[in-house]
Chains A and B, each alone.
Chain A
Amino acid sequence: MAGLAASFGSGAMTNSIQEMEQCQVALVIGSNTTENHPVIGTVLRRAVQRGGAKIIVADPRRIGLVEDAALWVRQRPGTDLALINAMIHVILKEGLQDQAFIDERTENFEALKESVRKYASAKAEKITGIPAADIEAAARLYATAERAAIFYAMGITQHVTGTDNVKALANLAMVCGHLGKPGSGVNPLRGQNNVQGACDMGGLPGDLPGYQKVANKEVLKRFKEQWNAKKLPSAPGLTLMEIMDAAHKGSIKGLFILGENPMVSDPDTGHVEKALERLDFLVVADIFLTETAALADVVLPGACWAEKEGTFTNTERRVQRVRKAVEAPGQARADWELLNDLGQRLGLDWNYKEPKKIFKEIAEVTPAYAGISHERLDSLGSLQWPCPDKKHPGTPILHTKAFTRGKGLFHVLEHQEPVERADARYPFTLTTGRNLYHYHTRTMTGRSVGLNDLAPTCKVEINPADAARLGVNNGELVQVSSRRGKIVASACVIDRVAPGVVFLPFHYADAAANMLTIGALDPVAKIPEFKVCAVQLKKVA
């Protein structure tokens, strides 16, 4: 988010899902697409099968898409930036860049050019572990295609250098002019159904709806009028991880958590638990008594998605309807209803009776949503923002003529080693992620017949060579420990991971991978370093 916004002026996926069936080259980096965004995985596979597209996979694991890839490069976890810089180096050295695009549509190119000199492929080979020839092949493949798209997900962002990684991908796309046309772009794949919407709606400490900054006086003045509010705070607030730290230190006293389960999803779970326990008052609204809700002073029963009206915004900025099919159980109520009632008790003159009306207000205060309404969605099926007026058909591709910020901005970025590296005591590098059958902290999938049967327990992936050395067989229990905690999981001995690397899904509360991970934050996006930490393995006798 923060990375793309700095480069282009908008943090959202630049292009659309189905058009990718027409791309010629797809660079998939840090996204296990076929398991985490399976339907986008099908689009990429169809692009190969039907259109002869070539996929470049850059991933420490042999993910499903490797089967379909023209080229797979296995970077050492946490070295993506060195790989991307090295690709840019190759492109510039061989004159494969789109100079016209660079001249007309971007700024700060000279500085970028200078900065990537250090990343000759031979040097990058030492950092990333990828053979120089493969780095060069990847660069040529991507640069010489007419329509080439980049896809990335948590594998890129969940690092201390996450924001820089994203900016590096933006650099790469701009150098080649692979933006603003079909089958191209820089495309973040959002993990949760409505992450995009939560951000669009101002679920961010510095942003009001539509990424309008709280620190901007004009903006604040307008919102004061529109909301009929006496005053609104102008100082940007704290981010999630800062809120947890502040709770830990005691400066945050009261917290309201809406439908999230940070006890399983956040890094360094032990720290989160202490933080939540130190609060004077914790309110959790959820559909289940999650690990987090169990710590609350007040728990509010929510309605699930099938029990309410509203909208979600998907990863390609597409706003779509959510419709009520069944009644919520017992006294459970939709979040918008309970928020309305709480607002009234906090002295607001609220009287929201229908999500449709709330949406109308959203459209009034959010320029990108101005032309969207439940009525239009009901007749058209969906609309992609920006959709500035009621006649507008929506925007499938961003930055076609100019970037949202005007010129695209190149950033100078340097490789940084992960915060924690494998050493004698913790000799393995752990990376975490999701598997196909579960979602997030399993509160829903863990309670769905079939899904849980297909992936009931947490499995740690270990390379066969390492397993042999440790004397661990497939299915045997292994203790995985880091400087922060330990868990037990059954071994899945498989060459999907490289020697020296192990992988854990983070879904399981009883073997929470995030007991092990680090709270170290990317300085800009404040995303914790989930993807890399050092662990040791021991067979459980």
Chain B
Amino acid sequence: MGMPTLTIDGKLVEFTPGQTILEVAKANGINIPTLCHLKDTTPTGACRICLVEVKGARTLVASCAMPAGNGMEVKTDTETVHVSRRLNVELLLASGNHNCLTCEKNGSCKLQSLAYAYGITDIRFKGQTQQYPAETENPLIIRDFSRCILCGRCVQACNEIQVNRAIGYGYRGAKSKIVTTGDRPYQDSDCVFCGQCVEVCPVGALTEKKAVGLGRPWETAKVRTTCPYCGVGCQMDLHVKDGKVVKVTAADGQSNKERLCVKGRFGYDFIDSPERLTTPLIKGEDGRFQEASWDEALTLVAKKFKAIKKEHGADALAGLTSARATNEENYLFQKLFRAGVGTNNVDHCARL
């Protein structure tokens, strides 16, 4: 039996049962804009931006939530579709404080780019007044409810990607708000500060507190690397501006699939700690450290090692290598001790 098919913008395409219209479109190079859609989670159809026309349906349908059906006729590029999408963008823009100039998300905001794509130059509807003050107490994440468009991505991310189950929809109607249990601030809730909600928020409602004011997206360069903490080896992007890491975001690595934990996401500012060692130190007779040049320090180490080896043998020396150093460094370290010093007294602290 052949694969089921449907027509999308006049093109006959095959699909796998279970795929949504959105997935079928994407697989065939047809772009349907989305806002609330979040990969690997249950679709909610909340934002109504991914609307398409399906022949026979009474209204436009949310393509992210609608399973593809054999013989369906789908249109993604009609006047009705565009008018509705545009209207929905306008309503979202009117729903709160969307002044881009003062927003941390300026330049990487999905609502901003949709407004731009739909040529919206002016806000037609009168916005409601701000009803919940921003939450700024915890050290890591700012929750600015005035910018929240209630798309629910953060809820999906927290409950289905990280499965921390810390947030959900609260209150009703115009009072709707994303809340923790008991509507407490993050730091007094089940939140574990993985930051996945920040990662997926399409607008400026959730932002990294430590990164505020440190760089616009177009000013920073991203460097892909591996997390320096636990053995999961999450892939991450370091956002660099003027020689400084200003933010960390998750990358789609094979082990982490765009997830990070609190350490990987927020544990980066030790890099710029004023306590970093910046010069070799040699302990003087008085037991105090004195700054030294690399040449002095390494020459002293080599001299001492040679003297100990001469007097007591190579096995009077030992080296502890590091589970934090790179493979290349671990390799050189053991080679140094085996080939250079002449001992197998090499270990590291993985046993611990």
A326 contacts partner chain B, Cβ-Cβ < 8 Å: yes
Whether B238 is near chain A, meaning CB under 8 Å from some CB there, is: yes
**Bound CA span A523–B283, Å:** 37
Residues of A in contact with B, size category: 35 or more
How far is A236 from B299 in the complex, measured between Cα atoms in Å?
A: 28
Binds A, one of B57-65, B89-97, B177-185, B229-237: B229-237
Closest B-chain residue to A288, C-beta based? B275
Q: Which of B234, B254, B266 has the most CB of A within 10 A?
A: B254
The reply to whether B275 and A336 contact each other, CB–CB distance below 8 Å, is no
Q: Is B216 an interface residue (CB 8 A)?
A: no
CB of B232 within 8 A of CB of A239, answer no
Residue A211 is within 8 A (CB to CB) of chain B in the complex? no
Inter-subunit contact B255/A336 (CB<8 Å): no
- Determine if A60 is an interface residue (Cβ-Cβ < 8 Å): no
Q: How far does the Cβ of A388 sit from chain B's closest Cβ, in whole Å?
A: 17
CB distance from B181 to the nearest CB of A (A): 14
Q: Which of B233, B271, B301, B317 contacts A326 (CB 8 A)?
A: B271
Interface presence of A298 (CB below 8 A) = yes
- Alpha-carbon gap, A38 to B161, bound state (A): 12
A312 to B233, CA, bound (A): 8
| B200-226 with Cβ < 8 A to chain A | 209-210, 223-226
Chain A residues lying within 8 Å of B245, measured Cβ to Cβ, are 306, 325-326
Find out whether the CB atom of A227 lies under 8 angstroms from the CB atom of B210.
no
State whether B231 touches A301 (Cβ < 8 A).
Answer: no
Known A298-B283, A454-B193; judge A192-B230 contact (CB<8 A): yes
Question: Interface of B with A (CB < 8 Å)?
Answer: 138-140, 160-163, 187, 192-194, 209-210, 223-235, 238, 240, 243-245, 253-257, 259-263, 266-273, 275-283, 289, 292, 294, 297-302, 304-306, 308, 312, 314-352
State which of A236, A240, A306 has its C-beta within 8 Å of the C-beta of B320.
A240
Of B194, B230, B299, which is in contact with the most chain A CB atoms at under 10 Å from its CB?
Answer: B230
Residues from chain B with Cβ under 8 Å of A439 in the complex: 229-230, 263, 267
**CB-based contact B277/A39 at 8 Å:** no
In the complex, the answer to whether A352 meets B280 with C-beta atoms within 8 Å is no
Of the listed residues B140, B160, B271, B324, the one surrounded by the most CB atoms of chain A closer than 10 A to its CB is B324
What 0/1 readout, one digit per residue, does chain A (279-294) give for beta carbons within 8 Å of chain B? 0110100111100010
Given contacts A240-B349, A450-B266, contact A193 B323 (CB under 8 A): yes
Given contacts A325-B225, A329-B276, A362-B331, are A37 and B231 in contact (CB under 8 A)?
Answer: yes
Contact check, A322 vs B322: say whether CB atoms are below 8 A apart: no
In the docked arrangement, what's the CA distance between A201 and B327, Å?
A: 6
Once the chains bind, are A299 and B326 in contact (CB under 8 Å)? no
16 A/B residue pairs, CB under 8 Å, sorted by A = A18-B255, A194-B322, A205-B347, A229-B339, A233-B338, A240-B352, A256-B301, A258-B325, A325-B245, A339-B333, A347-B340, A381-B253, A448-B270, A450-B193, A451-B262, A525-B351
Let me know if A203 and B308 touch, CB within 8 A: no
For residue B352, which residue of chain A has the nearest CB? A265
Among A42-50, A82-90, A136-144, A468-476, the stretch that binds chain B is A42-50
A80: min CB distance to chain B, Å: 17
Which of A17, A283, A332, A447 is the one whose CB lies under 8 Å from B275?
Answer: A447
Q: A297 contacts B283, CB within 8 Å?
A: yes
By a CB distance below 8 angstroms, the chain A residues around B341 are: 346
Q: Find out whether the CB atom of B139 lies under 8 angstroms from the CB atom of A331.
A: no
Tell me if B225 and A323 are in contact (CB < 8 A): yes
CA gap between A478 and B328 in the complex, in Å: 45
Q: Which of B209, B233, B244, B260 contacts A320 (CB 8 A)?
A: B233
Q: Is the CB of B329 within 8 A of A448?
A: no
A252-B316, A265-B349, A439-B267 provided; 5 other pairs, C-beta below 8 A?
A202-B331, A253-B308, A259-B325, A289-B275, A314-B233
